[in-house]
Structure 1
Amino acid sequence: MPRLLSGPNLEICPDYAANIYAAARAALINDHTTEQQAIQMLRVVWEAGNTVAKVQWQEQLDQERENQEAQAQLADEQRAQLAQAKRDEEESALKEERKKNKHRDKYTAIQNSGVPNETPVLPSPYALRRLQQGEYVDLWYFTNNGLDDALNTALTADDNAMVMSRLPDGSVTWTPATASRSSNTVVADQNLTFEEFCIACPRMITAMEQTNWTKERILMMATFWRNVQIHPFRSSRDPLAPKALLVYQAEQRKQWHIAVKAPEGPYDLSEINETLLDKTRMRVYWDERRKKDNERDYEVCHLTISQPFLGAHYLLF
């Protein structure tokens, strides 16, 4: 059956009573068939043909849809096979590289230089890997304690240990174990001292540059941290004001990283939202108030237990 080029669903039955169809009517008119009956016969024949065409058209559409789905499935399978082949190739290359460079450090040439005046800043491989992926990283990894922890871990870790990790696109790859786990002693941003915060910020900016963050985002983060450090709360006599800045910084930087993955995309973090900062300061105040109330209640309770009430016969007159 010839393939239909257009759909018959919107076709309208011709007006067989019109003069243009006079010859068609005349061919059907006889002693037993009137002109009106001839018109009706022509309509019935057309409708029957249109019904057949509709069925054929629907079959064509179904077949085309099946073909498209089959092609899409085939394309997905081919992409999956290519991705798996690429992962297998990368894994094989990584294993070969590890095998080839297993004890490379033993043979590294000694440079013609003495002990450096400044200790190099070598952050945790885990922190650098998170930055490489554009993910949130605690500032603690760039404090002195964080660098010391990274140094101690590097000296004791097994360089050959590998673990499977998931990339941002959902694929799985092998990575060194030291780059796949966080430190057990990490301190959240809001719990850092302001001195630690100020020390860590420029180090993280340098690490962002080394891990190919865009200049726009590096400038935004640098401006954000500068505005935190020069905010009037920083020099306030109220000890909770600087704490509020640290809490604000921690919360808003995490929120920004969440927004990066949202459909709306990231916003400019650099300017301090004074309304949010005031709300943060109030939360910090009430958290501290509840903490002190709990400590006071504990002390009162402990004192009552250790020194029970003395009866009246112990009173001195």
Structure 2
Amino acid sequence: MIQISISVQDYASINFANTRAQLINENVDEEQAIQLLRNIWQANNETDKVLWQQQLAEDREQREHAQRIQEDEQERVKQERIDEEDAARKEERKKNKHKYIPILDTGHSRRTTEASIKKTIDDDAMVLSTLADGSTAWISSASARNC
């Protein structure tokens, strides 16, 4: 805030002679005119200070309002980008459903163990087998597993 200070001597100077002359009459002498000018200046200065503080407060409110608007806009743009990314992901999933099918936990380690002991051929089935003398013969699958 800029504050201008004028002393009593300033109002007594030649610069204010015309203004003082307009105030001087049979009830007001020169000293009283100087004091009147000083009082008028002080009243105007106080009014100007109040107006200046009001202007500063209005300016601050406008800056804060503009900042809130800017922050809201940034939040809106951010949310819009997130929504667009979500929509793009959903569209990608929709177009390529087979890529996003969940893989179920099937227990691969158990399956390999089960496969080695699981019966794949009926006991009554016949399988071709090579005999000890080199000839081949049909034998039951149950006897072939025991060999």
TM-score normalised per structure 2: 0.63
Q: Which amino acid aligns with 2:76?
A: Q
After superposition, give the CA deviation of every residue in 1:114-173 in whole Å (9 maximum; x if it has no partner). xxxxxxxxxxxxxxxxxxxxxxxxxxxxxxxxxxxxxxxxxxx936xxxxxxxxxxxxxx
Aligned to 1:47: 42
Shift >6 Å, 4+ stretches: none
Q: How does 1:293-304 map to 2 (within 5 A)?
A: none
Aligned to 2:3: 10
Aligned with residue 91 of structure 1, among 79, 86, 95: 86
Residue 68 (str. 1) matches residue 67 (str. 2) = no
TM-score normalised per structure 1: 0.30
Deviation at 1:96, TM superposition (A): 1.0
2:85 and 2:45 map into 1 onto residues whose CA distance is 59
1:62 and 1:92 map into 2 onto residues whose CA distance is 44
Residue 77 (str. 1) matches residue 72 (str. 2) = yes
Q: How does 1:186-197 map to 2 (within 5 A)?
A: none
1:43 and 1:102 map into 2 onto residues whose CA distance is 87
After superposition, give the CA deviation of every residue in 1:65-84 in whole Å (9 maximum; x if it has no partner). 00110110011001101100
Q: Which amino acid aligns with 1:54?
A: K
Structure 1: tracts of 5 or more residues without a match: 1-6, 106-156, 160-317
User: Percent identity between the aligned chains?
Assistant: 42
After superposition, give the CA deviation of every residue in 1:225-260 in whole Å (9 maximum; x if it has no partner). xxxxxxxxxxxxxxxxxxxxxxxxxxxxxxxxxxxx
After superposition, give the CA deviation of every residue in 1:173-229 in whole Å (9 maximum; x if it has no partner). xxxxxxxxxxxxxxxxxxxxxxxxxxxxxxxxxxxxxxxxxxxxxxxxxxxxxxxxx
2:20 and 2:89 map into 1 onto residues whose CA distance is 84
Answer whether contact 1:13 1:47 (CA < 8 A) is retained.
no
2:38 and 2:99 map into 1 onto residues whose CA distance is 90
1:104 and 1:73 map into 2 onto residues whose CA distance is 43
After superposition, give the CA deviation of every residue in 1:285-304 in whole Å (9 maximum; x if it has no partner). xxxxxxxxxxxxxxxxxxxx
1:99 and 1:85 map into 2 onto residues whose CA distance is 21
Larger Rg: 2
Deviation at 1:104, TM superposition (A): 4.7
Q: How does 1:1-317 map to 2 (within 5 A)?
A: 7=1, 9-13=2-6, 15-104=10-99, 158=102
How many residue pairs were aligned?
101
2:99 and 2:29 map into 1 onto residues whose CA distance is 104
Deviation at 1:26, TM superposition (A): 1.2
2:67 and 2:81 map into 1 onto residues whose CA distance is 21
CA RMSD of aligned residues (A): 2.0
Q: Which amino acid aligns with 2:102?
A: D
Q: Which amino acid aligns with 1:44?
A: N
Deviation at 1:46, TM superposition (A): 0.7
1:58 and 1:83 map into 2 onto residues whose CA distance is 37
Deviation at 1:13, TM superposition (A): 2.4
Would you tell me which structure has more helix in proportion to its own residues?
Answer: 2
Answer whether contact 1:17 1:39 (CA < 8 A) is retained.
yes
Structure 2: tracts of 5 or more residues without a match: 104-147
